[in-house]
Amino acid sequence: MNIIEPRVLKGFRDFPPAAEIRRRALIERIEASFRSFGFAPIDTPALEYAEILLGKGGGETEKQVYRFTDNGGRDVALRFDLTVPFARFIAAHRAEITLPFKRYHIAKVWRGENTQRGRYREFTQCDVDIVGSNSPASDFEILLVMRETFKAIGAGDVAIRLNHRGLFNRFLATLGLLDKSVDILRLVDKSAKIGRNAVVEQLSGVAGDKAEKILQFIEAKGGFEDVLARLIELSGGPSPESERLADIRTYMLQHAAAADSAGGACILDPSITRGLDYYTGIVYETFLNDMPEIGSICSGGRYDNLASLYSKESVSGVGTSIGLDRLIAALEALGRLEQKTSYARIAVVCLKESDAGAYQAIAGCFRNAGLACEVFFTREKLAKQCMSAEKKGMEWLIIPPEDSPLRGKLVLRNLATRENSAPLSMEEAVSRLKAALEV
């Protein structure tokens, strides 16, 4: 028979135990942080009607989507983000949910992207959103949950670069350029990539002699209050948008004064616009202080009309999305990921294959005490079983009495020192290992 090459699709990945254990550990900590703020999980189908996912007909998106006709003749597609399914979810479940509705969703999404830029075609997003509240307090909570989550996973302090899309639009309106906002946003978004001169030149094509003024706006720098004052001036005086930024700033200062855990900066940065996204209020991008060079690891903002494709009711919300893969790459480079290939740090050795039931009963005592425990299946020399255990990253072996495994005393072998304990009762052995492994 011909052998089929066991390859995976380009841009797709296997996660062997070491990679999956650290991925799961990270997801568990992110989830615990989201839950601590009262966010509840939802899940939605991986596959949806293409019309639902692509309703907006975004050109770039459409090209990247895995879309096909199913066996029932339906035009379907794999989700390419968690935001569009969430919008559909809100419209579908509006009658059952209580607003404000706080949900998280951690799941895979699929995009046929160009893998040459180090992108994957299957990747995991971690989204949190609050919908049904337009309060600046909900904007602040999203910024806070993000900051606390990065701290909880050991990524350290983050710098949040915050802006308000509405304030930028108000400024464009004072220049009479609001109708050109799409083109201008696209250019502003490219500024980090193409450089100031290119932006001035291209902006002049759109905005004429007001190009320089636009650059003054997006280049405003300094402390939060200074920049905010400058933006208020450039956008024609105080406005609901500038007040919202001021409220968020007040909350930050209150929180920093009270919580020991403040840390990390929040910078008012008018060059952050999130391009052509659906945001209408605050927008932000987030950088790790310990590794700013990898770029934004988390971005988001406020939207006013998320579910408008599927519902006449408009629901305002604010949310954020952590790209798990980039985060893992950063934490790996920083040496802050768990390194283990198994949850079991102990194992019962096999002295007699006919005693496998008794060995499992011994292992059960350790498992019941919260210690994951393997049982070796094959009778081999003790030295060989030690080597297997070490190869699996284990720390202790449990050596049962050879003749009557369930009656005599156990010996514990410390694999680091190769030393054996004195014979111990089951209770002694369990408490010895709980202490040694800090369980």
Residues 294-313, interacting with its own copies (CB under 8 A): 307-312
Task: Name the DSSP class of 236.
Answer: T
Using the minimum distance from each CB to its own copies, give the nearer residue, 71 or 197.
71
Site of tokens 């005490």: 369
Integer Cα distance of 106 and 329 in angstroms: 18
The site string for its own copies over 116-135 (x = CB under 8 A, - otherwise) reads ------x----------x-x
Phi and psi dihedrals of 349, rounded to 5?
-80, 160
Phi and psi dihedrals of 387, rounded to 5?
-65, -45
Residue from the set 58, 61, 112, 409 that interacts with its own copies by CB under 8 A: 112
> What is the footprint of its own copies within residues 136-165 (CB under 8 A)?
136-138, 140-141, 144, 148
Q: Count residues contacting its own copies (CB under 8 A)? A: 120
Integer Cα distance of 44 and 33 in angstroms: 21
Using the minimum distance from each CB to its own copies, give the nearer residue, 41 or 292.
41
The neighbour count for residue 400, using CB atoms within 10 Å, is 26
> Would strands 317-323 and 298-303 be described as parallel, antiparallel, or unpaired?
antiparallel
Q: Which of 151, 133, 98, 137 is nearest to 298 (CA)?
A: 151
For residue 231, the number of C-alpha atoms closer than 13 Å in the C-beta half-sphere is 32
Interaction of residue 349 with its own copies, rule CB under 8 A: no
Task: Name the DSSP class of 169.
Answer: H
Q: Which of 58, 114, 98 is nearest to 81 (CA)?
A: 58
Q: How far is CA 420 from CA 142, 347, 400, 403, 413, in A?
A: 52, 14, 12, 19, 4
Residue from the set 210, 213, 336, 367 that interacts with its own copies by CB under 8 A: 367
> Tokens for 9?
């699709």
Using the minimum distance from each CB to its own copies, give the nearer residue, 199 or 375.
375
> Would strands 411-414 and 282-288 be described as parallel, antiparallel, or unpaired?
unpaired
Interaction of residue 285 with its own copies, rule CB under 8 A: no
> What is the footprint of its own copies within residues 69-98 (CB under 8 A)?
69-72, 74, 76, 78, 88-89, 91-93, 96-98
Interaction of residue 60 with its own copies, rule CB under 8 A: no
Interaction of residue 110 with its own copies, rule CB under 8 A: yes
Q: Which of 82, 88, 58, 54 is nearest to 68 (CA)?
A: 54
Using the minimum distance from each CB to its own copies, give the nearer residue, 184 or 347.
347
Using the minimum distance from each CB to its own copies, give the nearer residue, 148 or 241.
148
> What is the footprint of its own copies within residues 374-433 (CB under 8 A)?
374-375, 377-378, 388, 391-392, 406
Residue from the set 45, 195, 236, 237 that interacts with its own copies by CB under 8 A: 45
Integer Cα distance of 289 and 280 in angstroms: 27
Interaction of residue 168 with its own copies, rule CB under 8 A: no
Residue from the set 14, 179, 209, 293 that interacts with its own copies by CB under 8 A: 14
Using the minimum distance from each CB to its own copies, give the nearer residue, 258 or 383.
258
> Tokens for 376?
């070796």
Minimum CB distance to its own copies, residue 131 (Å): 12
* Close Cβ partners of 392 (under 8 Å, ≥ 6 residues apart): 341, 342, 344, 347, 374
Q: Which of 13, 108, 106, 26 is nearest to 339 (CA)?
A: 26
Interaction of residue 244 with its own copies, rule CB under 8 A: no
Interaction of residue 8 with its own copies, rule CB under 8 A: yes
Residue from the set 48, 189, 277, 325 that interacts with its own copies by CB under 8 A: 48
Using the minimum distance from each CB to its own copies, give the nearer residue, 257 or 435.
257
Tell me which stretch binds its own copies (CB under 8 A): 63-71, 195-203, 224-232, 235-243. 63-71
Minimum CB distance to its own copies, residue 129 (Å): 13
Minimum CB distance to its own copies, residue 89 (Å): 6
